[in-house]
A and B are shown apart, each in its own frame.
Chain A
Amino acid sequence: MPNEYIAILMFSTMMLLMMTGQRVFGVIGFVAVVASLALWGTGGESLGFSATIKLMKWYPLLTLPMFVFMGYVMSEARLADDLYRMFHVWMGPVPGGLAIGTILLMVLISAMNGLSVAGMAIGATIALPELLRRNYDKVMVTGVIQAGSSLGILIPPSVVLVLYAMIARQPVGQLWLAGLFPGLLMATLFIVYIWIRCRITPSLGPVLSEEERSQIPNAEKYRLLLAGALPLVIFFVMMFPFVKGYTSLVESSVIGAVATVIGAVWKGRFTRAVFETTTRMTLAISCMFMWIILAALSFGAVFDGLGAVKAIESFFVGDLGLGPWEILIMMQLSYLIMGMFLDDTAMLVIVAPLYVPLVGVLGFDLIWYGVLYTITCQIAYLTPPFGYNLFLMRAMAPKEITIIDIYKSITPFVLVMVLALVLVIVFPQVALWLPNYVYDK
């Protein structure tokens, strides 16, 4: 059997087994070890285990539990409450203002967090009930929270970019900085979209009433503005020594985690219950990601053994005879489609090693491609039937929001994200200016 067919067989077996609803990491790992045993017989059995050693050597991945921990401290200690109140008060008079405020809140949360989990939790527990109470359209609100929380993986710090950095062997610092402006660009596009939508149909996001606004004294307004300073302080305490090169990436993430805890203690909200929940949930989420990455690494190793990189290269360049830009677009499209059906973290670990060498050969900037990759990954997180954010949303959303609502809600935001992707492709400087400026290339 030619190698291409083996690869396709592996993918389709994985798809089928995933449909049964068994844990994703088990399915991926199973396909990987069975394939390696079938292909290489004796010696094939150690392929699965060698992934654990590889994972152990991926030092930057230590940031994963740290960022998960930070996120949970923030959401459990309700540090985001004040932030939310701040946007609530300041954005109230604008049409769709609270939804816009939620996006801004997500931007700040993303600046302290490497994943979308925390944003999702905060959005679903704090913003969602409040927005529904104020008669915001439930479909739009659901979309806002999902799209907003997905910024977590683009705006630094980002765990997805750390993973990409390890696969593509690129410096994490530059990748993170490269993600900043595209993230802000995307947030701006979200805001513009919400604003226009609510101008056209005011019932989607009603303006805060005059008397309610006048109830809040000005002093309170300015005091709340200070609440916005906390995340920025944490962000700088974490990022500054790292970008300056005083501490390593992992050490910075720990400093960030400690700073968040200090913030929570200072606010008097780091109770026993918060400690217990954050510790437990950090373990649960970190384990989920680590076991998936572990299994995906074995899967990727089998692909590597099959010579999939060369096969893909010859397929795109030779058989289809495409130019570099067409190949780039094809790769993004194929990743989007695969991302719909397969687990997104696993896709990242499996597909990135296949595409990244080709991108390098075609002469594209790998830092820039990392940003494209992350945006694509963000979209994959949102798109049904298999999206990590969808999964979380379903678990966290109140009963009145059905699966259909969730599916419907993301469509416009996915289109906005595709627009952002196109913008970054057409204007690479959006991503590359900041890292080039800071690292003085």
Chain B
Amino acid sequence: MPRPILIFVRFVDRLNYGVGRFAMYLLYVLMAILLWSSMSKIIQAPAIWTLEMAQFMMVAYYILGGPYSMQLGSHVRMDLVYDALSDRRRLWWDAFTIFVLIFYLCVMLYGAVQSTAYSFGLKYYAVEISWLPFDIPWGKTGFMERNPSAWRPYLWPIKLVMVLGFFLMILQSLSFFFRDIAALRGVKI
């Protein structure tokens, strides 16, 4: 395999391992937030931020943990046919069908980027000016998106996390693709 690909695969695997290990411990942060929430109810001073903070934490937990969970091989596959295949054929199938996954993730990433831009108040729509051959994009909202609740948190941090998460998922899928190709060529990465 070409050297850049080897470096890419090793880098992505280690990066996602690191990010995943970090995300793994968010579970305890989540628990702490919810415990705090129960406590604050007991002392009759319910905190307003816990509910949304817990939601954000959960999203970060499973989105950032996604690539690592793929590394752990925890995602269900329908193994009725798959199990009966020879190793080589399985690699071939995987090398093709991984693009199904990548396509889905790319659409998700695109949606996430759009939504993040919106949360920064950057939704552009095209303004048509008759004497110009092209349309000019124009800032539309101009305000930072906030959650409609008592606490009114800004939404851009969690959306950025999602963008990052989907991006990392795509990288991880590509890494799997290269691994399959390498294995087909008889190279061990």
A residues bordering B, Cβ < 8 Å?
17-27, 29-30, 32-34, 37, 45-50, 52-53, 55-57, 59, 61-62, 65-66, 69, 246-248, 250-251, 254-255, 257-258, 279-280, 282-288, 290-292, 295, 343, 385-386, 388, 391, 394
Contacts and interface: CB of A to CB of B under 8 A. Distances in A.
B65 A46 contact: no
| Chain B interface size, under 10 / 10 to 19 / 20 to 34 / 35 or more | 35 or more
Nearest to B59: A56
Nearest to B93: A20
Given A30-B101, A57-B55, A291-B75, A21 B82 contact: yes
B25 A22 contact: no
B27 A23 contact: no
B104 interface: yes
Q: Is the interface of A mostly helix, strand, loop or mixed?
A: helix
Nearest to A21: B82
Contacts of A250: 34, 54
A27 B101 CA distance: 7
Which 5 A-B pairs rank lowest in CB-CB distance, beginning with the nearest? A49-B111, A21-B82, A26-B101, A287-B69, A284-B74
A34 B63 CA distance: 21
A386 B24 contact: no
Contacts of A46: 111, 114-115
Nearest to A68: B27
Contacts of B72: 280, 284
B66 A291 contact: yes
Given A23-B101, A283-B24, 18 more contacts: A20-B96, A22-B94, A22-B98, A45-B107, A45-B114, A49-B110, A65-B61, A66-B31, A250-B34, A257-B31, A279-B24, A283-B23, A287-B65, A291-B62, A343-B78, A385-B80, A391-B76, A391-B79
B50 to A, nearest CB: 9
B141 interface: no
B78 A287 contact: no
A62 B58 contact: yes
Contacts of A50: 111
A247 B74 contact: no
